[in-house]
């Protein structure tokens, strides 16, 4: 029998197409997600995804910890919890943030489903359609998707090797203020930036805080990579020097595992109250089970030693990437040199387009993310994000060798 909803081409027509809210129009699949299917083919070296290497976790110990949790505290682990999150876990989170100079009480922390949900809730609480959000250019792609879903107007401010340029920020905020626009917040990834691989210098941190304070603009500091530095002690967080003007977003996705989906927001009290209410309407409560597993993990595991092992692994991969870029890339290409995190931002030789080059790269069995996905206006076509977190060093080298061949061919060399 023929399906009355089917189009002549066999695809289903959506009978509710006229029923969606206007904001649903901003909800489109990200280029990065679309790439994952291609990049996960076994013959392709993927320098595209930002997936942490969870294979390096002590899985046997984790299994025992979970079994012990169910036996000893199962009734609590399997019950609803508070919308703000488990208090013991929030205390652990404060100990983690102290490593970046943050002094905070568990009462100001809201546990969220990854830091992604914290960003979603914050945008829900602050942004009406047409409101301005300022962020770095390039910026984290899923943050752009969140801002689009809430119909924000995104203004991107340039970066250089030391992160966000404070003069450019000041200029943008001045221009927006003169136009009578109320900027809802500055979204920034100051440490080991995704996708740019740069870190905001200490001197600039003070300048960014001062500029935002002067314009009365809230700072949203997204910091999932802060503890994954290769060479030095953790950078002092922006939040460490401004308790009233910064919402800090943290996550265990990169330091333990993303599958737990445990992240958090640390916010000034009035903002925290709004976030708790927003969290309640979004999910009633976070998974008690996942929160208690992570809480126990932090209490029992030598977690800081594990982070050291992780960073040593990622450092070797960063080195493999930088060395092979040095060895293989043609003249005219340039790239950032990250001190931590997962990403290198590559600028192609003049005239090349990362997006149109991608099919050729995939045919040569190497994948990357074109830079344009990290800009709201589609600029960045001459850029590429390279991730070194997942493939082992020898595959990274092979991937860069293939990529350099593609760039040479594209340049007509
Ligand atoms: N912010 C940035 C800058 C990220 O790179 C990521 C993960 N790729 C997130 C937030 C989201 O992380 P989570 O798993 O905690 O939601």
pLDDT at 4 over 70: no
CB of 341 closer than 8 Å to CB of 196: no
Q: pLDDT tens digits, residue range 177-224?
A: 999 999 999 999 999 999 999 999 999 999 999 999 999 999 999 999
Q: What is the mean pLDDT of the chain?
A: 93
Q: How many CB atoms lie within 10 A of CB 321?
A: 26
CA nearest ligand 1 atom 5, residue? 194
Q: Which residues contact 342 (CB under 8 A, 6 or more apart)?
A: 50, 52, 192, 194, 225, 228, 254, 314, 387, 388, 389
CA 153 to chain centre: 20
Per-residue model confidence (pLDDT) at position 30: 66
Q: Give the Cα separation of 83 and 225 in Å (integer).
A: 25
CB 372 within 8 A of CB 335: no
What are 250's strand-pairing partners? 264
The Cβ-side half-sphere exposure at 195, using a 13 Å CA radius, reads 31
**Number of alpha carbons in the 13 Å side-chain half-sphere of residue 225:** 28
Atom of ligand 1 nearest to the CA of 253: 14
**Strand 153-160 and strand 163-164: pairing?**
antiparallel
- pLDDT, position 3: 47
Strands of 219-222's sheet in order across: 109-113, 262-266, 246-251, 219-222, 183-188, 132-137, 153-160, 163-164
Kindly state if the Cβ of 197 falls inside 6 Å of ligand 1. Answer: no
Strand partners, 366: 45
* Ligand 1 within 6 A of CB of 221: no
Cβ atoms of 192 and 232 within 8 Å: the answer is no
Reading the block at residue 36, the tokens are: 């994952």
CB atoms within 10 A of CB 72: 11
Does the beta carbon of 114 sit less than 6 angstroms from any atom of ligand 1?
Answer: yes
Q: What is the pLDDT of residue 89?
A: 97
Could you tell me if the CB of 134 is within 6 A of ligand 1?
no
Ligand 1 geometric centre to CA of 224 (Å): 6
CA distances from 14 to 2, 9, 19, 317 (A): 16, 14, 10, 45
DSSP 58-78: -HHHHHHHHHHHHHHHHHHHT
* pLDDT at 9 exceeding the cut of 60: no
Cα(142) to ligand 1 centroid in Å equals 8
CB of 116 closer than 6 angstroms to any ligand 1 atom: yes
Q: pLDDT per residue over 231-275, tens digit each? A: 889 999 999 999 999 999 999 999 999 999 999 999 999 999 999
Per-residue model confidence as pLDDT tens digits over 360-377: 999 999 999 999 999 999
**pLDDT, tens only, 53-71:** 888 888 998 999 999 999 9
| Cα 85 to Cα 40, 119, 294, distances in angstroms | 35, 16, 12
- Which among 142, 164, 294, 388 is the best mutation to test ligand 1's pocket, defined by most ligand atoms within 8 Å of the CB? 142
- 253 C-beta closer than 6 A to ligand 1: yes
């Amino acid at each position: 029998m023929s399906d009355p909803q089917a189009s002549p081409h066999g695809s289903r027509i959506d009978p509710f197409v006229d029923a969606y809210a206007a904001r649903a129009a901003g909800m489109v699949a990200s280029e990065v997600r679309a790439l994952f299917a291609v990049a996960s083919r076994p013959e392709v070296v993927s320098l595209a995804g930002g997936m942490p290497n969870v294979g390096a976790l002590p899985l046997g110990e984790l299994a025992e910890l979970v079994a012990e949790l169910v036996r000893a505290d199962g009734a609590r682990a399997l019950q609803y919890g508070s919308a703000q999150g488990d208090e013991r876990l929030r205390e652990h989170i404060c100990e983690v943030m102290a490593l970046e100079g943050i002094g905070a009480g568990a009462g100001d922390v809201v546990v969220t489903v990854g830091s992604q949900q914290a960003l979603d809730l914050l945008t829900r609480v602050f942004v009406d359609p047409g409101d301005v959000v300022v962020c770095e250019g390039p910026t984290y792609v899923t943050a752009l998707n969140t801002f689009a879903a809430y119909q924000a107007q995104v203004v991107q401010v340039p970066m250089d090797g030391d992160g966000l340029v404070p003069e450019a920020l000041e200029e943008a905020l001045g221009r927006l203020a003169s136009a009578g626009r109320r900027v809802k917040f500055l979204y920034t990834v100051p440490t080991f930036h995704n996708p740019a691989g740069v870190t905001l210098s200490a001197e600039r941190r003070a300048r960014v805080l001062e500029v935002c304070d002067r314009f009365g603009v809230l700072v949203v500091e997204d910091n999932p990579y802060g503890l994954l530095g290769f060479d030095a002690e953790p950078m002092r967080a922006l939040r460490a020097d401004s308790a009233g003007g910064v919402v800090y977003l943290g996550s265990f996705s990169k330091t333990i595992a993303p599958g737990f989906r445990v992240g958090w927001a640390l916010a000034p009290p009035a903002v925290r109250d709004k976030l708790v209410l927003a969290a309640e309407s979004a999910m009633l409560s976070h998974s008690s089970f996942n929160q208690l597993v992570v809480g126990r993990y932090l209490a029992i595991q030598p977690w800081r030693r594990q982070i050291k092992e992780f960073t040593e692994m990622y450092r070797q991969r960063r080195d493999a990437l930088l060395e092979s870029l040095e060895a293989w890339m043609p003249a005219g290409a340039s790239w950032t040199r990250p001190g931590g995190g997962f990403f290198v931002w590559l600028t192609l030789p003049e005239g090349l387009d990362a997006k149109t080059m991608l099919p050729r790269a995939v045919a040569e069995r190497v994948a990357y993310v074109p830079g344009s996905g990290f800009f709201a206006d589609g600029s960045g076509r001459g850029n590429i994000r390279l991730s070194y977190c997942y493939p082992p060093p020898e595959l990274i080298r092979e991937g860069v060798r293939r990529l350099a061949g593609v760039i040479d061919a594209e340049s007509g060399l």
